Chains A and B, each alone.
Chain A
């Protein structure tokens, strides 16, 4: 068994990720597992709101399109799907997945559902829990709380894999755990076998953002070339029982997998590189070595780990007012001066109308919107004024974009191309730690396994 390789592919790294690369990976990648990671920090909170309006919803809306695309080939090639697209309603997501399978003529496809990440009732009864970001008690957020979800680990996902169901659907789990779970399931790794848990977690971290390890978010003309970027392929890991890991990508696709792309992705979203805490281990990447084996194929060695902690990280989502936004453009002579004048006029009109904002921002796109204002940048030929403000008052949020749009008729000369006033609900998140012992996970199979 030692020589057996399990190949785990990465089909989505965010709910907005591209669709067809996952299909190409399933068709041509000879993968055993296809993982879709689709939950950003606030996504579960957003989906909880969707579920509160319609009890059938609350799973990732992209589930339909993603599964419709890959289910025929995954069923044909016996590729198991592991995904957190269950979001705030994994049972509802499982039913939707089964409907898709039936409509595709694939029959009665069982779906194993992992429950237990929703800890909102547990934290509601513990208002004294401390928020990690500011040290304040959870109590202050409770009236506005919309979700509280623990980042479950690979052990819980393995319980769902053990059912044999071709699709495993979860809510909130740690991203690398989605990839580590099939390894533990296939090879029976123990949590005491830290070098293997470390290698699997490092591999999961490399894969969890799909294209980010295979040439996406990387290229730079004349400096860091990426061939055939338009047909960028998604990555997979080859893993063996002894914990050896190599990263590659769909054969014949665009992009690149090399030491540079792997290094960028390995450090991505890590703070202290000796202390990356997941539900499965505390990962140390400082001794990792990447070796180019062949073209687009990199060996990963030397990941280390300490044992997992006895706490789960929990993300709490809560409503926090509204953000209003508006944009309008100026070009040619004195474009920047007119844009700045317009910004002052909008601010004064909002003040005269009695609106106030907790936070307010003026961007000159083309000068200062991405990297702040150093005061010494050259003036561009054209500039787009963007104004944004956060407020508990929905009318104040709308008024902001309304007044920016009014620059067409009521501002300095030559304004063009204002956007419609934009208002969005703010779903903010904070974190806390919850003892593992308080969290009970459960696996439910929809359909007959």
Chain B
């Protein structure tokens, strides 16, 4: 099976209005730079394209070996008006964890 974000990091979703923020937190310090290179906003938006309008912004939290992805137009207009079952988008971090990553070269492993 190919490498997924799930194999390298854990994640939680937060909500504010129609915007979801999804953290990606490395289990191991040494994976942060690989994710910095490969878990681009383009790759993330591709995975969320059928759920969220975007755009997506990525913030780096090197000290916490983490990233914060902020995805706009992601919650059906916002918690208070959304027709979704999961109005807060709490489960969206699982889309993030399922994103497949390219194989790492021997120097990254």
Contact = CB atoms under 8 A, between A and B. Distances in A.
A242 interface: no
Contacts of B35: none
Interface in A260-290: 260, 263-274, 285-290
A134 to B, nearest CB: 10
A360 B11 CA distance: 30
Contacts of B80: 41-42, 320, 426-429
A371 B61 contact: no
Nearest to A220: B10
Contacts, number: 119
Interface stretch (A87-95, A191-199, A384-392): A384-392
Contacts of A360: 83
Nearest to A260: B10
A371 B51 contact: yes
Contact of A263 (B66, B76, B77, B83): B66
Interface string B61-84: 111101010100000111111011
A365 B85 contact: yes
B44 interface: no
Given A272-B59, A371-B92, A371-B95, A266 B83 contact: no
A264 B25 contact: yes
Interface in A328-372: 359-361, 363, 365, 369-372
Interface string A198-211: 00000000000000
Contacts of A270: 14, 21, 68
A289 B84 CA distance: 36
Nearest to A274: B59
A72 interface: no
A370 B63 contact: no
Given A371-B91, A386-B85, A267 B63 contact: no
Given A264-B10, A269-B16, A288 B83 contact: no
B83 A267 contact: no
Contacts of A41: 79-80
A41 B17 CA distance: 9
A390 B63 contact: no
B52 to A, nearest CB: 8
A260 B50 contact: no
A294 B50 CA distance: 44
A289 B21 contact: no
Given A41-B79, A268-B14, 9 more contacts: A223-B10, A264-B11, A269-B15, A272-B70, A273-B59, A286-B61, A320-B81, A369-B84, A371-B51
Interface of A: 40-42, 133, 217-218, 220, 223-224, 260, 263-274, 285-290, 302, 320, 323, 359-361, 363, 365, 369-374, 386, 388-390, 426-429, 431
